Structure 1
Amino acid sequence: MDNYIKTWLFDIIKSIEEIDSYFPASKKFDIYTNDIRTKRAVERNIEIIGEAMGRILNENPNINISNSRKIVDARNKIIHGYDDISDDVVWGIVINHLPLLKQEAEKLLKE
Protein backbone atom coordinates (compact mmCIF):
# COMPACT_ATOMS: atom_id res chain seq x y z
CA MET A 1 0.00 0.00 0.00
CA ASP A 2 1.44 3.36 -0.94
CA ASN A 3 2.00 6.25 1.43
CA TYR A 4 -0.82 8.35 -0.03
CA ILE A 5 -3.40 5.71 0.86
CA LYS A 6 -1.88 5.35 4.33
CA THR A 7 -2.14 9.12 4.82
CA TRP A 8 -5.79 9.14 3.77
CA LEU A 9 -6.58 6.17 6.02
CA PHE A 10 -4.94 8.05 8.88
CA ASP A 11 -7.09 11.10 8.07
CA ILE A 12 -10.21 8.92 8.20
CA ILE A 13 -9.24 7.50 11.59
CA LYS A 14 -8.43 10.93 13.01
CA SER A 15 -11.74 12.37 11.81
CA ILE A 16 -13.66 9.50 13.42
CA GLU A 17 -11.74 10.01 16.66
CA GLU A 18 -12.54 13.71 16.53
CA ILE A 19 -16.25 12.96 16.11
CA ASP A 20 -16.04 10.57 19.07
CA SER A 21 -14.42 13.32 21.16
CA TYR A 22 -17.55 15.48 20.83
CA PHE A 23 -19.43 12.94 22.95
CA PRO A 24 -17.17 12.24 25.95
CA ALA A 25 -19.78 10.62 28.19
CA SER A 26 -21.84 8.81 25.56
CA LYS A 27 -23.18 9.34 22.10
CA LYS A 28 -26.62 10.85 22.47
CA PHE A 29 -28.76 12.06 19.63
CA ASP A 30 -30.09 15.04 21.59
CA ILE A 31 -26.56 16.32 22.23
CA TYR A 32 -25.99 16.20 18.50
CA THR A 33 -29.26 17.81 17.45
CA ASN A 34 -29.28 20.56 20.07
CA ASP A 35 -25.79 21.94 19.44
CA ILE A 36 -25.26 23.53 16.03
CA ARG A 37 -21.48 23.64 16.52
CA THR A 38 -21.38 19.91 17.18
CA LYS A 39 -23.57 19.25 14.15
CA ARG A 40 -21.34 21.33 11.89
CA ALA A 41 -18.20 19.73 13.31
CA VAL A 42 -19.57 16.23 12.74
CA GLU A 43 -20.65 17.14 9.21
CA ARG A 44 -17.22 18.62 8.46
CA ASN A 45 -15.48 15.47 9.63
CA ILE A 46 -17.78 13.33 7.50
CA GLU A 47 -16.82 15.56 4.57
CA ILE A 48 -13.12 14.90 5.30
CA ILE A 49 -13.78 11.16 5.62
CA GLY A 50 -15.64 11.13 2.31
CA GLU A 51 -12.97 13.15 0.52
CA ALA A 52 -10.22 10.86 1.82
CA MET A 53 -12.25 7.81 0.76
CA GLY A 54 -12.76 9.27 -2.71
CA ARG A 55 -9.01 9.75 -3.07
CA ILE A 56 -8.38 6.19 -1.89
CA LEU A 57 -10.86 4.81 -4.41
CA ASN A 58 -9.25 6.82 -7.21
CA GLU A 59 -5.88 5.34 -6.27
CA ASN A 60 -7.12 1.79 -5.60
CA PRO A 61 -10.74 1.06 -6.57
CA ASN A 62 -10.44 -2.49 -5.21
CA ILE A 63 -9.61 -1.54 -1.63
CA ASN A 64 -11.52 -3.61 0.89
CA ILE A 65 -13.61 -1.06 2.82
CA SER A 66 -17.30 -1.64 3.42
CA ASN A 67 -19.66 0.93 1.88
CA SER A 68 -16.75 2.90 0.44
CA ARG A 69 -18.86 4.39 -2.35
CA LYS A 70 -21.65 5.31 0.09
CA ILE A 71 -19.11 7.15 2.24
CA VAL A 72 -18.19 9.32 -0.74
CA ASP A 73 -21.88 9.79 -1.54
CA ALA A 74 -22.54 10.98 2.04
CA ARG A 75 -19.78 13.55 1.68
CA ASN A 76 -21.27 14.79 -1.58
CA LYS A 77 -24.75 15.00 -0.05
CA ILE A 78 -23.49 17.07 2.87
CA ILE A 79 -21.53 19.44 0.65
CA HIS A 80 -23.95 19.82 -2.24
CA GLY A 81 -27.25 19.11 -0.52
CA TYR A 82 -26.54 21.03 2.66
CA ASP A 83 -30.10 22.37 2.74
CA ASP A 84 -31.56 18.87 2.78
CA ILE A 85 -29.39 17.10 5.37
CA SER A 86 -31.28 14.90 7.80
CA ASP A 87 -30.04 14.76 11.37
CA ASP A 88 -31.24 11.17 11.50
CA VAL A 89 -29.15 10.17 8.49
CA VAL A 90 -25.98 11.85 9.77
CA TRP A 91 -26.51 10.34 13.21
CA GLY A 92 -27.03 6.92 11.61
CA ILE A 93 -23.65 7.28 9.92
CA VAL A 94 -22.00 8.20 13.22
CA ILE A 95 -23.55 5.32 15.17
CA ASN A 96 -23.84 2.55 12.58
CA HIS A 97 -21.06 3.06 10.05
CA LEU A 98 -18.11 4.94 11.52
CA PRO A 99 -17.13 2.28 14.09
CA LEU A 100 -16.73 -0.36 11.35
CA LEU A 101 -14.95 2.09 9.06
CA LYS A 102 -12.46 2.88 11.82
CA GLN A 103 -11.77 -0.83 12.39
CA GLU A 104 -11.25 -1.46 8.69
CA ALA A 105 -8.98 1.57 8.25
CA GLU A 106 -6.87 0.56 11.26
CA LYS A 107 -6.57 -2.99 9.92
CA LEU A 108 -5.47 -1.74 6.50
CA LEU A 109 -2.85 0.52 8.08
CA LYS A 110 -1.35 -2.48 9.87
CA GLU A 111 -0.92 -4.44 6.63
Structure 2
Amino acid sequence: MDLRIKAWLLDIKRSIEEIYSFLPERRDFLEYQQDLKTKKAVERNLEIIGEAVRRILNAEDSFPIINAKRIIGTRNRIIHDYDNISDEIIWAIVTRELPKLEEEIEGLIKE
Protein backbone atom coordinates (compact mmCIF):
# COMPACT_ATOMS: atom_id res chain seq x y z
CA MET A 1 0.00 0.00 0.00
CA ASP A 2 1.17 3.51 -0.86
CA LEU A 3 2.61 5.19 2.25
CA ARG A 4 0.54 8.32 1.64
CA ILE A 5 -2.66 6.26 1.58
CA LYS A 6 -1.64 4.53 4.80
CA ALA A 7 -1.04 7.93 6.43
CA TRP A 8 -4.46 9.17 5.30
CA LEU A 9 -6.11 6.00 6.62
CA LEU A 10 -4.41 6.64 9.96
CA ASP A 11 -5.70 10.24 9.85
CA ILE A 12 -9.23 8.88 9.41
CA LYS A 13 -8.77 6.45 12.29
CA ARG A 14 -7.43 9.21 14.55
CA SER A 15 -10.32 11.52 13.65
CA ILE A 16 -12.86 8.82 14.46
CA GLU A 17 -11.17 8.21 17.81
CA GLU A 18 -11.22 11.95 18.55
CA ILE A 19 -14.91 12.20 17.70
CA TYR A 20 -15.68 9.40 20.14
CA SER A 21 -13.55 11.06 22.82
CA PHE A 22 -15.55 14.31 22.45
CA LEU A 23 -18.98 12.72 22.78
CA PRO A 24 -20.88 12.51 26.03
CA GLU A 25 -20.32 9.13 27.62
CA ARG A 26 -24.01 8.30 27.45
CA ARG A 27 -24.09 9.42 23.81
CA ASP A 28 -26.96 11.74 24.64
CA PHE A 29 -28.10 13.82 21.67
CA LEU A 30 -29.48 16.70 23.74
CA GLU A 31 -26.23 16.96 25.67
CA TYR A 32 -24.30 16.96 22.39
CA GLN A 33 -26.63 19.55 20.87
CA GLN A 34 -26.05 21.98 23.74
CA ASP A 35 -22.25 21.74 23.65
CA LEU A 36 -21.01 24.10 20.94
CA LYS A 37 -17.34 23.13 21.37
CA THR A 38 -18.11 19.45 20.94
CA LYS A 39 -20.26 20.07 17.88
CA LYS A 40 -17.53 22.11 16.23
CA ALA A 41 -14.86 19.54 17.12
CA VAL A 42 -16.95 16.71 15.69
CA GLU A 43 -17.65 18.66 12.50
CA ARG A 44 -13.96 19.47 12.09
CA ASN A 45 -13.02 15.82 12.38
CA LEU A 46 -15.70 14.87 9.84
CA GLU A 47 -14.11 17.42 7.51
CA ILE A 48 -10.71 15.77 8.02
CA ILE A 49 -12.19 12.34 7.32
CA GLY A 50 -13.77 13.58 4.11
CA GLU A 51 -10.59 15.29 2.97
CA ALA A 52 -8.51 12.18 3.69
CA VAL A 53 -10.94 10.03 1.68
CA ARG A 54 -10.80 12.57 -1.17
CA ARG A 55 -7.00 12.43 -1.18
CA ILE A 56 -7.04 8.63 -1.15
CA LEU A 57 -9.36 8.51 -4.16
CA ASN A 58 -7.26 11.10 -5.98
CA ALA A 59 -4.21 8.89 -5.45
CA GLU A 60 -6.02 5.64 -6.31
CA ASP A 61 -9.52 6.08 -7.71
CA SER A 62 -10.46 2.43 -7.22
CA PHE A 63 -9.46 2.30 -3.55
CA PRO A 64 -12.14 0.26 -1.76
CA ILE A 65 -13.81 2.61 0.74
CA ILE A 66 -17.54 2.01 0.91
CA ASN A 67 -19.55 5.23 0.56
CA ALA A 68 -16.43 7.22 -0.30
CA LYS A 69 -18.38 9.67 -2.46
CA ARG A 70 -20.95 10.23 0.31
CA ILE A 71 -18.16 10.83 2.83
CA ILE A 72 -16.61 13.44 0.54
CA GLY A 73 -20.04 14.94 -0.08
CA THR A 74 -20.62 15.29 3.66
CA ARG A 75 -17.28 17.07 4.01
CA ASN A 76 -18.24 19.44 1.23
CA ARG A 77 -21.63 20.16 2.79
CA ILE A 78 -20.07 20.90 6.19
CA ILE A 79 -17.55 23.27 4.63
CA HIS A 80 -19.52 24.92 1.83
CA ASP A 81 -23.16 24.49 2.85
CA TYR A 82 -22.67 24.75 6.60
CA ASP A 83 -25.96 26.53 7.18
CA ASN A 84 -27.87 23.49 5.89
CA ILE A 85 -26.21 20.93 8.15
CA SER A 86 -28.32 20.09 11.15
CA ASP A 87 -27.27 18.63 14.46
CA GLU A 88 -29.54 15.69 13.68
CA ILE A 89 -27.67 14.91 10.45
CA ILE A 90 -24.28 15.05 12.16
CA TRP A 91 -25.57 12.94 15.06
CA ALA A 92 -26.95 10.30 12.66
CA ILE A 93 -23.62 10.14 10.84
CA VAL A 94 -21.69 9.79 14.08
CA THR A 95 -23.95 7.19 15.66
CA ARG A 96 -24.89 5.12 12.59
CA GLU A 97 -22.19 5.50 9.96
CA LEU A 98 -18.99 6.17 11.90
CA PRO A 99 -18.85 2.74 13.60
CA LYS A 100 -19.07 1.06 10.16
CA LEU A 101 -16.37 3.33 8.76
CA GLU A 102 -14.15 2.69 11.76
CA GLU A 103 -14.37 -1.07 11.23
CA GLU A 104 -13.70 -0.70 7.52
CA ILE A 105 -10.68 1.57 8.02
CA GLU A 106 -9.16 -0.72 10.65
CA GLY A 107 -9.43 -3.60 8.19
CA LEU A 108 -7.77 -1.58 5.41
CA ILE A 109 -4.93 -0.52 7.71
CA LYS A 110 -4.23 -4.16 8.60
CA GLU A 111 -3.93 -5.19 4.93
Answer whether TM exceeds 0.5 for this pair: yes
Query: What corresponds to 1:94 in structure 2?
Result: 94
Runs of 4 or more off by more than 4 Å in structure 1? none
Number of aligned residue pairs: 111
Q: What's the TM-score once normalised by structure 1's chain length? A: 0.95
Query: What corresponds to 2:81 in structure 1?
Result: 81
Query: What corresponds to 1:41 in structure 2?
Result: 41
Q: What is the deviation of 1:31?
A: 1.8
Across the aligned residues of Structure 1 and Structure 2, the Cα RMSD in angstroms comes to: 1.0
Q: Which amino acid in the other structure matches residue 94 of structure 1?
A: V
Tell me the SS of whatever aligns to 1:64.
Answer: coil
Q: What is the deviation of 1:53?
A: 0.5
Contact 2:24/2:32 (<8 A) preserved: no
Q: Which amino acid in the other structure matches residue 98 of structure 1?
A: L
Give the gaps of 5 or more residues in structure 1.
Answer: none
Q: What is the deviation of 1:24?
A: 5.2
Q: Which runs of structure 2 are paired with 1:60-71 in the superposition (5 Å)?
A: 60-71=60-71
Tell me the SS of whatever aligns to 1:108.
Answer: helix
- CA offsets, 1:55-80, max 9 Å, x none? 01111121221111100000000000
Give the gaps of 5 or more residues in structure 2.
Answer: none
Query: What corresponds to 2:23 in structure 1?
Result: 23
Q: What's the TM-score once normalised by structure 2's chain length? A: 0.95
Tell me the SS of whatever aligns to 2:12.
Answer: helix
Give the Cα separation in 2 of the matches to 1:62 and 1:79: 25
